[in-house]
Structure 1
């Protein structure tokens, strides 16, 4: 399984809201597959943004949210654009999900 295919699953694991976790995974997977039907490169570009935010996410988690990097901000924005469940998750939940990549 390619690393980028694990993104929805890993985000699912990191979210602490079990009742909505299944919907979150389905929503993000549906958005990425629908948006990439014309070009397989578009989803991998989105996932690359999230993967590149790992260092910023680590700093954010380690500083208890006091350090916010530009790459983390871009990844948070992207995740929330792709999924209603990500919009409901806290920045800390999403940062931890990014770290599970």
Structure 2
């Protein structure tokens, strides 16, 4: 298998790469904080979050703070492993 074949298509989007990067180095991150970090729209962030959640790369937690819903995200073990493999493949590609 070539190095380029080891890159994970699920992380080709810059938004997904950003989401995973933020989550790998943090614990739980809420929607507004993630949106600020990445500078994306609500809809754009939500669609990429859904794609990553479908792949079981991230965990989603919804809770009430007062009367408002707060949605937070955390990387799963599966997600972290897949992301680290992707980053390692990028590193090998750059060498």
Greater strand fraction, Structure 1 or Structure 2? 2
Please indicate, yes or no, whether the TM-score normalized by the shorter chain is above 0.5: no
Q: Give TM-score scaled by structure 1 length.
A: 0.26
Based on CA coordinates, which of the two structures has the bigger radius of gyration?
2
Q: Give TM-score scaled by structure 2 length.
A: 0.27
